[in-house]
Amino acid sequence: MNDGHSGIENREVNKGGSGGFQLILAYLKQGTGQAEFVIHATSNFSYHYGLHPLEFLAEIGFSHYLGECPFYHDRCYYGVIATLERDIHGSENFHQVQRIHDNFQKFAKRIGELFELRQQEGQILREIGIKQRGKSLFGPPVEIQIAEKDVPLWVEEVKFPQLRELERKKATLQEEIDKLSAFLPLLYGTGDLLEEAVIKALQFLGLNAERAPKGFTADILAQTPNGSLSFGFEVTGISGPIKKDSNKLTQLLEFERVKEHGEKTVLVANTYNKTPISERKNLEHFTPQVLDFFSRHPILLMTGWDLYCMVQDVLDDSRSREENLEMLFTKTGRLDYDEK
């Protein structure tokens, strides 16, 4: 493995970035016939307190290139993520290479979020007197082996029409499987996984939904395309019921206090998220104290299972999107959707 830059050909094959970071995925061909996939990363942002973005790149496993990088000049941090025993241009294995591209895009879209989390970690550790230590994200480069059974990409030009049609149907079916599977964390998830599932469910129901800015008093902001109905969603996953000591109650009231556009305040609580659905039926999802407390406020309390059932009813054409959105906006207190 060389310095990530020296070779007979160094070309950009993908790019992305987030949070002030710019990333390029390059294909580096060697004179020996071997090749590498290399991530080049940089940031032009300057931080006067805490971890600097370029220091962050070094901490997570990138190396500073001291020469002249064709992509980022003297501010390049690079990491070799895959090596190939021979040049694959024109005969690459689609699945292996596509996985490299997919993972690169996922990393590029979330590197800014990783940096923010590392900054927060550093601040907490400083406050309690512990020195922050770097955590490398990269292990040894993946070795991509091209075997005789691997199908070259140029075969695409002469595939049987029947095979193309079957592959098209398979791709469509897989896309639908992935789309519906994205709702499953409503039943067991917590944290970011649950929030993402709630966003997808709300979008499926017809809302423009997205995560609220960090530090905001709600997790998700959503509204209908015409802006007639607006919502602020607080989301939590818990292995039991919501009790009066939950910090989510304070956040709900704070959003209710500061909202400026008539948004409906909603709590989506994935209660008993370690319990099978068949065993949740008669369980108490919100304690009587919580229900009594919120009876004085126009706030809706619902479970992840409630939202999951809404999606199911739309899929079955047993209730329209509009009916569900109207219910979300007008109902207050405990919404036991499964009994509607």
- Write the pLDDT tens digit of every residue in 61-112: 899 998 899 999 888 999 999 888 776 655 555 567 778 888 999 999 999 8
Residue 122 has pLDDT above 90, yes or no: no
Q: What is the pTM of this model?
A: 0.61
One-letter amino acid of 318: S
Can you tell me the distance from the alpha carbon of 241 to that of 285, in angstroms, rounded to the nearest whole number?
Answer: 4
SS3 percent helix, strand, coil of the chain, rounded to 5, is 40, 20, 40
Q: What CATH number should be reported for the domain whose range is 185-339?
A: 3.40.91.70
CB atoms within 10 A of CB 158: 6
* Span 188-216, average pLDDT: 92
* DSSP letter (8 states) at residue 141: P
- Specify the higher pLDDT residue, 61 or 154: 61
Residues 235-250 have pLDDT tens digits of 999 999 999 988 889 8
SS3 18: strand
Location of each CATH 3.40.91.70 domain in the chain:
185-339
Residue 1 has pLDDT above 70, yes or no: no
pLDDT band of 328, cuts 50, 70, 90: very high
Average pLDDT, the chain: 87
Q: Return the exposure string of 278-288: e unless at least 16 CB atoms fall within 10 Å of the residue's CB, then b.
A: eebeeeebbbe
Residue 254 has pLDDT above 80, yes or no: yes
Flag the least confident range among 121-130, 214-223, 311-320: 121-130
Residue 336 has pLDDT above 90, yes or no: no
Can you tell me the distance from the alpha carbon of 203 to that of 196, in angstroms, rounded to the nearest whole number?
Answer: 11
